Chains A and B, each alone.
Chain A
Amino acid sequence: MNIVVCVKYVPDATADRQFESDNTVDRVGVDGLLSELDEYAVEQALQLKEKAEGDDVTVTALCVGPEKAVDAVRKALQMGADKAVHVTDEAIAGSDYVATSLVLAKAVEKVGAEALSDSGGVDLVVCGMASTDASGSVVPAMLAERLGLPQVTLASVIETQGDQVRIKRDGDTATEVIGATMPLVLSVTDQSGEARYPSFKGIMAAKKKPLETWSLGDIGVEADQVGLSVAWTEVEETTARPPRTAGEIVTDEDGSGATALTEFLAAKKFI
């Protein structure tokens, strides 16, 4: 079985994230890392591999992004992925959802084509529920659309039996059980289970694992199909939100806090 895990390199959410002068996310000047929400995707892929025991399962971590983004697939390799692909090309910078999903889809197809000789393409594409920077939560659905595969998304519980997949999806108004047959696109939430930390052994082993770098040409995407200049959306302005002005803080002593709180709420007409 072939599993591809899509991982994103994002600016650290605990750092001061910012934009470049062309209004794209600063992905170089701010420390980056593997998106926390994609760690859950790596974890679930690894659990599926472990569950398969004897069966031959290959987990490939796939990342699209600038040079530094290779750190994201490296982390996935340290966690236990078997190999990694980093698609990087200057032309990709500033791509929107539409272009990003195109690059990912073409890269998944290439991973599948290369695996075809031994095991028949990609069986499972696993994604996180959202990135921690754009947090659009749309790329997994777009990937399924592009690849023509079933979309089994926002899973908090994943069960597989042979090529059958069942998930629990916590929807907006209902909890659903979704079933589909592989190959398919799966996205998993942070409720799916704590992601493992790389072990020392894992970190050492990762250095010897195959890591390929592909350009747009390698996956058959033209430079004028992606990037900022052809994006189907355009950012006009980015403005830092003014810091909130410091509020009033009181310390509770024998019920004074409750009274002060009630008075504040009443003054603001919330009561």
Chain B
Amino acid sequence: MSEVLVLIDHVEGAVRKPTYELLTIAKRLGEPSAVFIGPADQAAEATEKVKKYGAEKVYVVDDAPLKGYLVAPKAEALQQLAEKASPSVILIPSTAEGKEIAGRLAIKLESGLITDAVDVQPSDGGAPVTTQSVFAGSYTVTAKVTKGTPIITVKPNSAAPEESAGAGAVEEFSPTISDAAKTAQIVASQPRKATGRPELTEAAIVVSGGRGTGGDFEPIENLADALGAAVGASRAAVDSGWMPHSFQVGQTGKTVSPQLYVANGISGAIQHRAGMQTSKTIVAVNKDEEAPIFELVDFGVVGDLHKVLPTATEEINKRKG
């Protein structure tokens, strides 16, 4: 069976959940080979994790010669690895950086690129069939790559990670990085502060606040904590300076597709819908009964979030005992 390369998404060796989803997808398509690009001394920790999700091989690329430069060196490393391993498919997490790596890789490998897949399935003897959700979630598109090695970026929550023991055979790979790839320098890097809550794009439940919060996110955060949810915000709330941009759900922020999305004081403009419309269950609390968000909901409360949320939070905490 041919190899399917999966680029590991990790922070300082800590593997992020979408990697397991990609490995689960890779197993459907062939033999999963995980690619770790990072400090050599963090590779062992990552290897232990990915072999539990079916990685037969783990290519370790020591990032010492790549570090400090944006995107381009990683694309070069993957190109050289792909030329050596001749994988049948390359899966990359649909993060901002992942997509940029994928774009450059597509040109280097003269291969077709599909971004933001929400599902990838094998097809008889051909390239895998991807599903994408487009136009703010109003259309579903199935597609496949017709040239070269299919390069597919996959969104978080696209598969339920399935544990499956893989051999996890480590193979070190040392790419040759050109000077041309070292032209955009990372001068400084400030890791995002941990919130203690689930990662927004990975969370099963997201509780969001918008203009209607008036800048007070306490009721949102309290409800989120009662439900074990991540906190999100609309563009209006971010533009008002109430929440950092990393919390923004929408076209120019994060796209989320949780089991439950609770929109509070959010009108439901297209910019926001684009980021949450594919959520399984949608709930909204809004003072304005005409708010377009109510067109999307499974359950809606017309009312003041500052009254509804604290009471609901109290009741939820009581039920949880």
Contacts and interface: CB of A to CB of B under 8 A. Distances in A.
Interface in A133-174: 133-142, 144-146, 148-154, 156, 166, 169-174
A156 B245 contact: yes
A255 B313 CA distance: 12
Interface stretch (B19-27, B43-51, B132-140): B132-140
A21 interface: no
Contacts, number: 266
Given A176-B190, A251-B289, A235 B302 contact: no
Contacts of B145: 232-234
B204 to A, nearest CB: 9
Interface of B: 11, 70-72, 75, 95-97, 99-104, 106-108, 110-116, 129, 133-148, 180, 183-192, 205, 227, 235, 245-246, 251-252, 259-260, 270-271, 274, 281-283, 285, 289, 294-304, 307-312, 315-316, 319-320
Category for how many chain A residues contact B: 35 or more
B106 to A, nearest CB: 6
Given A153-B71, A252-B302, A268-B260, 13 more contacts: A17-B139, A37-B252, A130-B252, A135-B251, A141-B100, A145-B103, A145-B104, A170-B246, A179-B184, A234-B143, A240-B138, A240-B139, A266-B319
A235 B141 contact: yes
A233 B113 contact: yes
Interface string A107-127: 000000000000000000000
Nearest to B137: A241
Nearest to A134: B134
A29 interface: no
Contacts of A145: 72, 75, 103-104, 107-108
A200 interface: no
A258 B283 CA distance: 12
A249 B183 CA distance: 55
A181 B99 contact: no
A175 B312 contact: no
A205 interface: no
Nearest to A267: B299
